[in-house]
Structure formats: structure tokens, C-alpha cells
A and B are shown apart, each in its own frame.
Chain A
Amino acid sequence: MKTELAFFLARVIGGLAARVGSWVGNGSVIGGRIALMVMPTFIARARRDLNFPIVFVLGSNGKTTTSKYLTQLAEASGETVLSNVAGSNMRSGIAALAVGSWRAIRRGTYSLGVFEVDEGYAAMLGRELSPEFALVLNVQIDQIYRLHEPERVRDMFRNAFPSVTQHLVVNGNDGLLVEASSNVEDGTSVSFFGVDSGIPVSTLGLAEPRPMELKRLGTALSVATDGTYTATQGSESTALSVPTTGVHFALNGCAALEMARHIVGDRTSLAQLGEHLSHAQPAFGRGETITSGNAKFEIILFKNRPSLQLNLNAQRDAADTVVIAFDEHSRDPSWLFAVDYSAVSRVDVVSGEKADFFELALKYADVEVGASNTDIVEVVSQLDTRYRDAPPSVHRLFLDAKQMTAVRGYFGRKMDVKK
């Protein structure tokens, strides 16, 4: 009885906090934070009413994109999905999702949950939610100042695996994950996705790359010389097309196909799933294009060394302007010096609070830098003013998370930009 009262109060107070937070422009997780303050076991209690299978999407990079792909595949196959695809992937984000969606949850609206989860919270949220499924994308060098080394991240995932009750999918090219995937309970099956042929696995940004020897047990991605992709599950193959350029996004699609096979595979085919994936929308900021008059602004989010490297490597067409903006989010900027910048010969503007570090790294890498301006909104505003009424042009913006939010905010004040 006391538990139910606490749960009721946590939901009500959390809901009020979320409403107040949204009025002042900070409503994304405040409701979850307050709910957890009122009832620290809020998430475990909420799980009793989440009467549908839950999928965790984990990994150093690609969680938001893959969650979005998986959600779209599941919805196209008839599921109604509860998802934190906006990216609040810590405990407070999951609690906020439950608070904000409580009425729909109680009405039985949802048939599936797709939750991207931060590696630091994977084991704890695993114990609280006992997900039926988990999909783990990669272990990469990421936030060393917080996560210290890839082996520690592998252990975070490994500690979450015993909580998965039905099926675990991991990247078969990732030696650390393949090794950790043996840590599942009896009765939980494991399968793999990964690159089978067409590109060296050493280019995937993994901490411990390996050939996908276990392809028979999952979905394998082949990369053709013309840059097209094929996904294969056993004897079945389909063309794989995703909305954003780069093999890492194709791999996210391949991962979503492998997970979808275990959730909705009994009522659809690989070919149908491949078709659904070809209509998927990119997650915000991941290869999103915003058009202002004749000027197209490509927004490419990077968060760490492998994500910047893979996004740089993925660029094929020339852009009229290249901007890179980097902020204080990445507290240790050392990794900028480990990136191979040979894919760019010139960066027109370096921006963000840590523009100086970027300029230094680029100059030591023999990349020409046009200008430095720490204010990304000013940079984009100047480009917009100059090019929107000029002949058609493309402006490629590589942006750290806060910089992306600022740029989307700038355009959001002028036009409808999806939140």
C-alpha cells in the first residue's frame, strides 16, 4: 500500500514538475528526476505496468539512429512503440518517459518499448526493467575522461546482459562484445550483425575489430564497390538503403534488421523490412538537411573520435562551405589529434567554445582553416544571409551536440524544424 502511494505521488509530482519544466523550456527529464527523488524504485515499479516487451539499444555510437530505425521497422510491422528516441537515455530520461506517457501506458496503447540506454546505466536499468531484448552496437573509444577505457565499457554491457530475458544481438565485428555476449542466462539466445565483405573492419572505429565469423547466426552487411549495401540473413538477401550517407549508418540499419527479425520476423520478411528501412527518416541532427531558400545546410552530429572519423570518411560530394564546431561537452579534447583529416582539405570556419583546439589539430594535420568564430549561431546566420537568395549551395556543418542544438534552434525560430 505504501509502495503504491509512493508510486502515485511520484507520478503526480513528477508530472507537475514536467509541466512546469516545459513552461520554462526544460521539460525533457525533470519529471523523471523528481519521480526518482520521490520514489527511488520508481522505474522498477513502473515496469509492472509496462506490459509489453522492451528492447534496450546500447553502444558507444549510433543508439539514437538505430532506435529510430528499429522503431520505424516495428511500427511498419504493426507495433505501437514507446520510445525515448529524443535521446534522454539515463535513468531520469526513462523515468520521465514513464511519467509523461503514463495514461497511454495504462490504456494499453503500446505493444513494444524501444529504449536507448547510456552505457553507464545499462546494468542498473537492466535490473530494474528486465528487458526482453537488447541490441548492442559497438564499443568504441569514447569519453575517456568519464569511461576511462573501452574494456570498462565492455564490462558495463556485460554486466547488463544477464538481465536480458529473451534475445541479445551484438555487433559480430566487435571483439569485445562478442566475448562479453557469453554472459547471458540460460534460455537467452544471442545473434550477431556486422560487415561481412566490401570494407576492412579496421575502418569501423571499433576498439577491437574482428572479422564477422559468426555471420550464419545473424544479419551480414555487404558493401559493393559502387557503395550500395546488401543485407543477408541466412539464404535471404535484400538491398539495404538508409537515409544518411556512411557505412556506419548502414550498419545501424543492419543492426535494426537483425533485432526486428526477432521481434516481428514471424509476420514479415527481410525484403519487407528492407523496404520499410528505405523509407526511414534520419534521427535529428544525423545527416539531417535544413533548407533555407536556395541554401541547404547539412547537419552532421559528432560526439567523439570514431563518430567524427566515420562521418568525415562518409562524405563524398563537395560542399560550398565546411564548418566544424566543438564545445565544452568533450572535456578532454586530446582525441581531436587522433582523427585522420585527409577527407577534408579545407575547413572554412571552426566554431564552438573549443574552436581553438580544433584549429590547432587541423593545422598540424595540414588542413587549411579559413576563419575561427566561437559563436556557431553567428556563423550559420551569416551563411544563411549570404546564400539563401544566391544560387543553390550546400553547407556542411559538423557539430558537437550543443552546437547542433544551437543551430537547430536558429533555424527553428525561422521555420518548422522537427523537435
Chain B
Amino acid sequence: MSAVRIGVVFPTAFNLNADAANAQVLAKRLQMSDVDAEVVPLVIDAMTANVSVDALIVGSGSSSNVSAPETASPRVRDFLKAALSAETPILAVSNGFHLWGSLTGKDGQTIAGWDVIPAHTRFGTTQHVTIGAQVTTAWGTLVGVENHNATVVLDGCDPLGTMLHGVGNNAGGVDGIHFGSLWGTHIHGPVFAMNPFLADEFAARVLGRLGRAYARGEGVAELDELSAGTAEHLVRMQTP
């Protein structure tokens, strides 16, 4: 059986908060569950060549990476749009999630995005930093860190979850988006490592799309015990 290919979009530029690690975490959990998996870095040439992937991770970048011409190029947009149309499971984090919709900068200028989901992001001057942010989702409560200056308005689609602690979309008391096979969130960094229930739900969707079942490997439990401790730790250190 061929390896599950987990693509990471612009793995250097869009890894400001270590979001690319979600691909390694997912691959490791799959491997520990007897599923062959590999991480595929997706720079512009790979996306132009339309390489095949079974899952996508889009991390967060700096503001200049968000507005870089390469980021919003039609070649990138077409690749990502095709992945979403093909129901490829996608995790998009912070401005790696904002880019999927339309964007307005701090000064009111339009920033070119991919414009494929019904979400509009307006960047502001206030930075929202929450250590120990918590989001209630359909599968459990996400714990992590958010650090962004965005207000996200969803147009008739569902958020990923409801804010228990933190700012999230900074509108409507919710965080992120759940649109087709795309999950967007402001919880950045190793969200799968910190929240294994989300990683497992994602893994099940990746394998389900390939007609395979996901049975969590036994060795994963030790990692998940550690994860539970780190999540509790972050909540203990919670900032307002």
C-alpha cells in the first residue's frame, strides 16, 4: 500500500510558529499505527507540478510572507483550490487559514488571498496573544496558543469551535472555520501534538478518504499522556 503523503505548504516561510510540525506529528502517529506516511514539502514548483498529496498543512507566516506575490500566485491558488475540491483533509493555521478567504490589511488595503472560502479577514493593530487558549470543538477542547491581529468574519459557514478562553476569530465568540475538508484555527504551533484527539480525527478522515480505516497504534498512548500534561500546563499558565 502506498504511503500517505502529507503536504506542507511553504514549509519554511509558513512555519513562524512551528505549525509545519503538525505534518511530522501526523506522520509519526500514522507510522506508530502501522500506516506508512511521509511528509512532502510544497514549494511553488511542487504545487505547479501538481504533486499528489493526501493531506495538507498550511502554517502561519510573517506579514511579509502573507503579502508576498508568490504566496497568492495563481499557481498556488489553483493547487489549493483543487485540493479542497478533491476533499483532501486540510489543517490551516492562523494567517495560513486567513489566506484561504479574502483579506484586508491594517491600512485598509486589499491583500491578495486565495479567495476560495467564504471568510473575510481584516488585520488590525491589536495583537491577540493568549497562552492556554481553549476552543470547544465537536471532538474535544483544543488547548494551545494564539497570536494574531485578525478579525475573521464567516459568511454562512461553520466555525471550527466555540471560544472557551481567548479571542479566536475576534467575532461571534468562535474560532476558525470548518468548510468542506478544511479546518482553520488560530491555535498555532503543534496543535496536533498538544491535542491528539484532533490529530486522530484528522488521521481518520485522511485514511477514510483513501478507503482505509484508522486504528490508533498502542504506542501512541504514551505520547498522549505527555500531551495531556502539556495541555494542563498551558492552562495553568493561562493568560487573560
Question: B230 to A334, Cβ gap below 8 A?
Answer: no
Is B64 located at the chain interface by the 8 A CB criterion? yes
Known: A337-B193, A364-B28. A149 touches B16 (CB 8 A): yes
User: Judging by beta carbons under 8 Å apart, are B233 and A332 in contact?
Assistant: no
> Is B204 located at the chain interface by the 8 A CB criterion?
no
Residue from B17, B129, B229 whose CB has the most chain A CB atoms within 10 Å: B17
Residues of chain B lying within 8 A (CB to CB) of residue A365: 24
Residue count of chain A within 8 Å CB distance of chain B: 28
With contacts A337-B21, A338-B15, A338-B21 taken as known, whether A332 is within 8 angstroms of B226 at the C-beta atoms is no
* 8 A Cβ contacts from B168-194 to A: 188-190, 193
Tell me whether A23 is interfacial, beta carbon within 8 Å: no
Question: B147 and A332: CB pair below 8 A?
Answer: yes
Chain B min CB distance to A156 (Å): 14
Q: In the bound complex, do residue A332 and residue B28 qualify as a contact, i.e. CB atoms below 8 Å apart?
A: no
Known: A337-B193, A338-B15, A354-B233. A360 touches B145 (CB 8 A): no
Decide yes or no: A337 and B18 within 8 Å by CB, A145-B147, A151-B64, A360-B223 being known contacts: yes
Are A334 and B188 interface neighbours, CB within 8 A?
yes
Report yes or no: B226 in contact with A359, Cβ–Cβ below 8 A: yes
Most B Cβ at <10 Å: residue of A149, A328, A354: A149
A residues near B21, Cβ cutoff 8 Å: 337-338, 364
Cα-based distance from A141 to B13 in the complex (angstroms): 11
Complex contact B223–A335 (CB within 8 A): no
Does B63 reach chain A (CB closer than 8 Å)?
A: yes
Whether B233 pairs with A357 at a CB distance below 8 angstroms is yes
Task: Answer whether A144 and B17 are a contact pair too, CB < 8 Å, given A332-B189, A354-B233, A365-B24.
Answer: yes
CB atoms of B25 and A364 under 8 A apart: yes
Question: B131 within 8 Å of A by Cβ?
Answer: yes
Report the nearest B residue to A150, measured CB to CB. B62
Q: B20–A338 contact, CB under 8 A? A: yes
Question: B233 contacts which chain A residues (CB < 8 A)?
Answer: 354, 356-357
Interchain CB contact under 8 A, A364 and B24: yes
Question: In the complex, which of the residues B129, B131, B226, B239 contacts A360, with contact meaning CB atoms closer than 8 Å?
Answer: B226
A148 vs B61: C-alpha distance in the bound complex, in angstroms? 11
Q: At the interface, yes or no: A106 with Cβ under 8 Å from chain B?
A: no
Q: Return B136 CB to nearest CB of chain A, in Å.
A: 21
Q: Which residue of B lies closest to A146 (CB)?
A: B129
Q: Which residues of B contact A262 (CB under 8 A)?
A: none
Residue of A nearest to B239 (CB): A331
Instruction: Determine if B227 is an interface residue (Cβ-Cβ < 8 Å).
Output: yes
Kindly identify, within residues 350 to 367 of chain A, every residue whose CB is under 8 Å from any CB belonging to chain B: 354, 356-357, 359-361, 363-366
In the complex, chain A residues whose CB is within 8 Å of the CB of B237: 328, 331
Q: Is B127 an interface residue (CB 8 A)?
A: yes
User: Least Cβ distance of B28 to chain A in Å?
Assistant: 5
In the complex, chain A residues 317-360 whose Cβ is within 8 Å of any chain B Cβ? 328, 331-338, 354, 356-357, 359-360
Q: For the complex, what is the distance from the CA of A402 to the CA of B190, rounded to whole Å?
A: 24
Asked whether any CB of chain B lies closer than 8 Å to the CB of A207, the reply is yes
CA distance A187 to B64 in the complex (A): 31
- Are A335 and B17 in contact, CB atoms less than 8 angstroms apart? yes
Q: Please determine whether B131 and A331 come into contact, CB atoms closer than 8 angstroms.
A: yes
Q: Of residues 115 to 143 in B, which have CB atoms within 8 Å of A's CB atoms? A: 127, 129, 131
Contact indicator B17/A364 (Cβ below 8 Å): no
CB of A375 to closest CB in B, whole Å: 16
Which of A144, A151, A364 contacts B63 (CB under 8 A)?
Answer: A151
Known: A335-B17, A361-B190. A145 touches B131 (CB 8 A): yes
Digit string of B77-91 for contact with A (CB within 8 Å is 1, else 0)? 000000000000000
Q: Which of B62, B147, B149 contacts A151 (CB 8 A)?
A: B62
Contact in complex: B226, A363 (CB < 8 Å) = yes
Least distance between B74 CB and chain A CB atoms (Å): 25
Contacts of B18 in A (CB 8 A): 305, 334-338
With the chains together, A338 CA to B18 CA distance in Å?
Answer: 5
A360–B17 touching, CB < 8 Å: no
Contacts of B229 in A (CB 8 A): 356
- Convert B30-52 into 0s and 1s, putting 1 for each residue whose CB lies closer than 8 angstroms to a CB of A: 00000000000000000000000
State whether A337 touches B189 (Cβ < 8 A): yes
Q: Of all chain B residues, which has the CB nearest A149? A: B62
Interface string of B210-238 (1 = CB under 8 A from A): 00000000000011001101100100010
> B24 touching A360 by the CB < 8 A rule?
no
Measured between beta carbons, the chain A residues less than 8 angstroms from B62 are: 149-151, 207
Min CB–CB distance A272 → chain B (angstroms): 41
B226 & A334 in contact (Cβ 8 Å cutoff): no
Residues on the B chain within 8 Å of A337, using CB: 18, 21, 24-25, 189-190, 193
What 10 pairs between A and B have smallest CB-CB spacing? A334-B189, A337-B21, A338-B18, A149-B62, A337-B190, A337-B18, A360-B226, A334-B18, A332-B145, A356-B229
Show 6 A/B contacts (Cβ-Cβ < 8 Å), sorted by A.
Answer: A148-B149, A332-B131, A334-B144, A335-B189, A338-B20, A364-B193
Q: Which residues of B contact A (CB under 8 A)?
A: 15-18, 20-21, 24-25, 28, 62-64, 127, 129, 131, 144-145, 147, 149, 188-190, 193, 222-223, 226-227, 229-230, 233, 237, 239
A145-B147, A356-B233 known; 16 new pairs, CB 8 Å cut-off, are: A144-B16, A145-B129, A148-B147, A149-B62, A151-B62, A151-B64, A207-B62, A328-B237, A332-B17, A332-B189, A334-B17, A337-B189, A356-B226, A357-B230, A357-B233, A360-B193
Q: Which residues of A contact B (CB under 8 A)?
A: 141, 144-145, 148-151, 207, 305, 328, 331-338, 354, 356-357, 359-361, 363-366
